[in-house]
Amino acid sequence: MTLPGLAVAPGVAIGRVRFCDDPLVWGSGRGASEEVLALPALWWPPTEALPAGARAVVLHGTPGGPGGPPGIPAVGEIDRDVLREGEAIEVDGSRGTISIPGVEEVPVVTAFLERDDGAVLLLERSHQVGSFPGQWAGVSGFLEDPNPLDQIYREIREETGLEPTDLRLASVGTPALARDGRRIFVVYPFRFRAERTDVRLDWEHTRAEWVAPSEIRRRTTVPKLDRVWESVAPPLRPKG
């Protein structure tokens, strides 16, 4: 799977991911070679020489500017959660992409239905579904239609019994990435205001609850559900 990022320093290199969480310890200390250093963007460009084994750099976030040591490709704006320590990846600093061999891209849609009081609908996935049984989610499904909005309307109808006429589209979020083993889910997020709240569940779910959005972080949910919500959440109202 190839993921887009931000071109920071040109070149192409292959190496194994090394997460660096200490600004004073960038190498693995194992004498390893051909490492791809995964660093916070705030650390870039470096003020000292990189470890001898460094072949490329992946940055979490946006660096202050391009450049870096000669011959070291670098790509920014990559979510570190999609990487795994020690796995081989290709970094293309000229195109601003990284590639993870053997990882499948799985596009999905997710919708949050919102009541007038701000509560959102969470659904508990049944043990008949093939992924994440027993975990809480929004309305979701695999993206099979070329238009994600058309797909999510179908999922809402199947999973809640609500029709498009019962809904008002409130926001569309930037696709989020969620890693699960050898799959990366590309989640297309939506938020709808629900004119009706009497939902009818199908076999995919066992329970439905209207909860405050803050409850999302407290529950065992499908991967990155909190981040998906943040991408479509209404702006916070100033106090006072």
What does each of the 240 residues of the chain score in pLDDT, given as a tens digit?
Answer: 999 999 999 999 999 999 998 877 765 555 557 899 999 999 998 887 888 889 999 999 999 888 888 999 999 999 999 999 999 999 999 999 999 999 999 999 999 999 999 999 999 999 999 889 999 999 999 999 899 999 999 999 999 999 999 999 999 999 999 999 999 999 999 999 999 999 999 999 999 999 999 999 999 999 999 999 999 999 866 555
Q: Quick check: is 240 in a domain? A: no
In the listed set 65, 99, 133, which residue is the last one of a domain according to the structure? 99
Query: Tens digits of per-residue pLDDT, 1-32?
Result: 999 999 999 999 999 999 998 877 765 555 55
Specify the CATH number for the domain of residue 78: 3.50.30.10
Residues 154 and 46 grouped into a single domain? no
Q: Which domain holds residue 130?
A: 104-232
- How much is the pLDDT for 143? 96
In the listed set 74, 99, 124, which residue is the last one of a domain according to the structure? 99
Residues 112 and 212 grouped into a single domain? yes
Domain count, the chain: 2
Q: Quick check: is 212 in a domain? A: yes
Residues 164 and 213 grouped into a single domain? yes
In the listed set 99, 116, 143, which residue is the last one of a domain according to the structure? 99
Residues 39 and 8 grouped into a single domain? yes
Q: Quick check: is 238 in a domain? A: no
Residues 216 and 157 grouped into a single domain? yes
Specify the CATH number for the domain of residue 153: 3.90.79.10
Q: What is the DSSP string of the chain?
A: -EEE-EEEE--EEEEEEEE--BTTB-S-SS---SEEEEEEGGG-S-SSPPPTTEEEEEEES--SSS--STT--EEES--GGG--TT-EEEEETTTTEEE-TT-EEEEEEEEEEE-TTS-EEEEEEPTTSSSSTT-EE-EEEE--SSSHHHHHHHHHHHHH---GGGEEEEEEPPPEEEEETTEEEEEEEEEEEES-------TTEEEEEEE-GGGGGGS-BSTTHHHHHHHHPPPPPPP-
